[in-house]
Structure 1
């Protein structure tokens, strides 16, 4: 049985997903790359369904720290772990959707500009770890 997620829980899912894309984008920065990466990530997020689609397409965008990659990770990785806990408890059928959408968005973001750099690969590995799933 699916339990309805609170606005706060929905925001946690959104923070994790959008934050993961931000982490990958920051791993190998560039202005033109940022535009391509954002577009690529939005395509992956459009593939979401159920509770995950509702979480990613509603409410405000998360405000993430901009000072350092470490600060971003200190917000995003716990949000991803919490999102997994929330979905496991309240909407287990949407858990694989969330994992695949976040990893696909991270992967597409990395590939959008000159392929996946070593720095981006490391970030994707940390994201996958937070999702409780090995990177592809």
Structure 2
């Protein structure tokens, strides 16, 4: 049974998804890469559906830290885990969709400029682990 997400829950899903993209993009920064990576990520999110698409495409953008990778991870990785918990509770059939969309966006970002470098691959693995954590 699907339940409507609150504005706070939608923002949590968005923080996790957009934050995962930012985490991977920040692993191998560059101005030219930024445009390509943003475009690649938006394509993956546009491919989502249902509750996930609603959460990712509506409402305000999340506020993410701009400092160090550990500070970014301290916000993003818990948001990914919490997003999975929210979806398990309110829309269980969308858990896999959320995981797939976030990982697809992260992987597209990594491949968008010069292929996947080790720092990006490591960021994707941390994202994958956060999404896989049981509630």
Q: Which TM bucket (shorter chain)?
A: over 0.9
Q: Kindly provide the CA deviation profile for residues 19-73 of structure 1, in whole angstroms up to 9, marking residues without a partner as x.
A: 0000000000000001100000000000000000000001111111111111000
Structure 2 unaligned blocks of 5 or more: none
The answer to whether structure 1 residue 109 and structure 2 residue 109 are counterparts is yes
Q: Kindly provide the CA deviation profile for residues 92-121 of structure 1, in whole angstroms up to 9, marking residues without a partner as x.
A: 011111000000000000000010000000
Alignment of 1:43-58 (within 5 A): 43-58=43-58
1:9 Cα shift?
0.3
Runs of 4 or more, structure 1, over 3 Å off, are none
What is the match of residue 21 of structure 1? 21
> What RMSD over aligned residues (CA atoms) do the two structures have, in Å?
0.8
Q: TM-score, normalised by structure 2?
A: 0.97
1:83 Cα shift?
0.1
Structure 1 unaligned blocks of 5 or more: none
